[in-house]
Chain A
Amino acid sequence: MSAAIETPGFIASAVRTDAPPAIVLDKVNKWFGALHVLRDVDLQVAAGERVVVCGPSGSGKSTMIRCINRLETHQEGHILVDGIELSDDVRALGAIRREVGMVFQSFNLFPHLSVLENCTLAPIWVRKMPKKDAEELAMEYLTRVKIPEQAKKYPGQLSGGQQQRVAIARALCMKPKIMLFDEPTSALDPEMIKEVLDTMVMLAGTGMTMIVVTHEMGFARTVADRVVFMDRGEVVEVGTPTQVFNDPKTDRLKLFLSQILRGH
């Protein structure tokens, strides 16, 4: 959080109100055993919209975005991604996962594959792209995240910030319509946070639909169309960054904001 980005102004919104919503969560409930982790979560994300999700640890942020690409299954309610309802249907699941890229807190790069192979694996095998095209595409995205020279290295040879940028490039190589980020900078040393946030700001500029779980308020103010505050499995407040950060309505949000501000 110390490396709040300095990009002046707000990245122009790319929300497309004419298109159908990219993601719809409708009264979603989820339990881990007896633990009720998502409670009647309602959320609509428009195509091209950038949503930042924040909230205390354990409030269900990860669980919510992991339900969107079905790394977790929900038990009640409906989730529609790009118009397709998530269910046990394997075909629909495959279609959704091709359109939704995910970036994890712990990078989750494949350590036994080179950076380039990490980026080309899914395009070749899932998108059935010829190897040469996939490699060109991968180099293009590696250039965009500013590490083309690392293509032949293995993830273990890169710094944390570089690894996370590779992870972003890897997800982008699938040409997803939606990108999910689960605390992408939380595992990074402070001096590396900025390079990853810059990459994400760059991505926001391309009109990508993004859901980002993060406590980087500078990032939220720069790119977010809306900020969602979650607590104990509930969506407590939703609004523009200014509304949520400057004018909290609930005590829970006030408490949370005072806590993360004290952390600075």
Chain B
Amino acid sequence: MSDITVNTPIGSEPRSAPITAVGPIAWLRANLFSGWLSTAVTLVIGYVLVRAVMGFVDWAFVNAIWSVPVTNGVAQTQACRELHGSGACWAVVTEKHRFMLFGTYPYEQHWRPALVCILFVALYIVSSLRRFWNWRLIPIWTVTLTAIGVLMWGGIFGLPYVPQERWGGLPITLILATFGLAFAFPLSVLVALGRRSSLPAIKVLCVLYVELIRGVPLISLLFMASVMFPLFLPEGMNIDKLLRAQIAIILFAGAYLAEVVRAGLQALPKGQYEAADAMGLSYWQKTGFIILPQALRLVIPPLVNTFIGFFKDTSLVLIIGIFDLLTAGKTAIVEPSWQGFGVEVYVFVGLIYLVFCFAMSKYSQGLEAELNRHRRR
């Protein structure tokens, strides 16, 4: 068939490389100890790393205090203070974790926001399974979000009513992030499509929206939503503060996501649009079946990057006095006996953010690999 000659004696097995060329020892030698300079750098960095890890382990575990006695409702933090920072005072987390997680929600009703958090996580898990990527997601979301509303507000099914001002902590963060991205993402797709529209009015509108929102910091948008927005509303009409912040976040995230989506649209070869047109597909058929599936796949990494950014940016609502996870953490250490234990609280709050963001990041990597399988030969 081919006349390329290969000098392999018939019957000879392919030999594996000598052990010194592969395996962990070879890897170490090639990457960490390939010369005297490389060896020195490896040793110095190794020393610093080991010291830092040992220091952290001492602080977080060996010298840490996990609980303190409470007399007459006041925590006795003497033992913690005597550590002078050589050990963590996790007692602040042990004592205050319910406040940090659920804010000023009535204490005996804490099971409700706890259940809400579980429902949110369940919703994320179900939505992430490709098996559910069809019409069923819509009832699933509607039912779950309704249940979340019922649980948070109460007032029916024998649940005592809890006004929105008393909500706080993790549920607020999850509500802002989930509703924010659930609305901002479709909005961003429409805006990105609108920017490429052949109708000048739509195009101008979308460009204006993106440029205006991007030119303003989120904080000022939140201020506007909380202070200025009510001035424009007719007397007596009042949209609640959380909803206003939510709208500000949706609008802000929408503008950023729209630019990410637009990049995906632009990256698609023109031939894909032409082939779809030539087959007689309508604009929405073309967009839904050909353009968006490919464009969104291309931009999964920057999309998730933006998602993660916004998950954390919801914490900015603290400046307009909404009680999200970070605000709750900050408030927990206002009490005199707990003052000075901010590091522990922020490590705890940070860990919660980390869990969610890391899960998003890992999921997107898996999704990207799976959805782009068709590119592999």
Contact = CB atoms under 8 A, between A and B. Distances in A.
Interface of A: 69, 71, 94, 97-98, 100-102, 104, 106, 108-112, 121-122, 125-126, 154, 156-157, 170-171, 174
Nearest to A118: B275
Given A106-B271, A112-B293, A112-B294, A157 B377 contact: yes
B376 A174 contact: no
A156 B279 contact: no
Interface in B269-308: 269, 271-272, 274-282, 285, 289-290, 293-294, 297
B15 interface: no
Q: Which of B276, B280, B293 has the most CB of A within 10 A?
A: B280
Q: Which 5 A-B pairs have the closest CB atoms?
A: A97-B280, A108-B275, A108-B271, A122-B279, A154-B374
Given A112-B293, A156-B374, A156-B377, A71 B278 contact: yes
Contact of A126 (B279, B293, B375): B279
A101 B274 CA distance: 12
A110 B275 contact: yes
Nearest to A100: B278
Contacts of A111: 294, 374-375
Contacts of A122: 279-281
B373 to A, nearest CB: 8
Contacts of A126: 279-281, 285
User: Quick one: which of B277, B279, B289, B290 has the most chain A CB within 10 A?
Assistant: B279
Contacts of B377: 156-157
A73 to B, nearest CB: 11
Contacts of B289: 121, 125
B285 to A, nearest CB: 5
A102 B278 contact: yes
B12 to A, nearest CB: 32
Given A71-B277, A108-B272, 14 more contacts: A100-B278, A104-B274, A106-B271, A108-B269, A108-B275, A110-B272, A110-B290, A111-B374, A112-B297, A122-B280, A126-B279, A126-B285, A154-B374, A171-B279
Nearest to A101: B278
Contacts of B294: 110-112
Contact of A108 (B274, B280, B297): B274
Contacts of B375: 111, 156
Contacts of A108: 269, 271-272, 274-275
A193 B331 CA distance: 73
Interface residues of B, number: 22
Nearest to B278: A102
A173 to B, nearest CB: 9
A121 B272 contact: no
Contacts of B293: 112
5 contacts: A97-B280, A104-B275, A108-B274, A122-B280, A171-B279
Which of A98, A112, A157 gathers the greatest number of chain B CB atoms within 10 Å? A112
Nearest to B371: A112
Contact of A125 (B269, B274, B281): B281
Interface-central residue, A108, A156, A170, by most chain B CB under 10 Å? A108
Contacts of A102: 275, 278
Contacts of B290: 110
Given A112-B294, A125-B285, A94 B280 contact: yes
Nearest to A66: B274
A89 B282 CA distance: 14
Nearest to B375: A156
B290 to A, nearest CB: 6
A33 to B, nearest CB: 18
B363 to A, nearest CB: 20
Contacts of B281: 121-122, 125-126
A97 B275 contact: no
Interface in B194-251: none
Contacts of A171: 278-279
A126 B293 CA distance: 19
A109 B282 CA distance: 17
A156 B372 CA distance: 11
B47 to A, nearest CB: 49
Contacts of A101: 278
Contacts of B285: 125-126
Most buried by B among A125, A154, A171: A125
A106 B278 CA distance: 14
Contacts of B280: 94, 97-98, 122, 126, 174
Contact of A71 (B272, B274, B297, B376): B274
B275 A174 contact: no
A112 B291 CA distance: 10
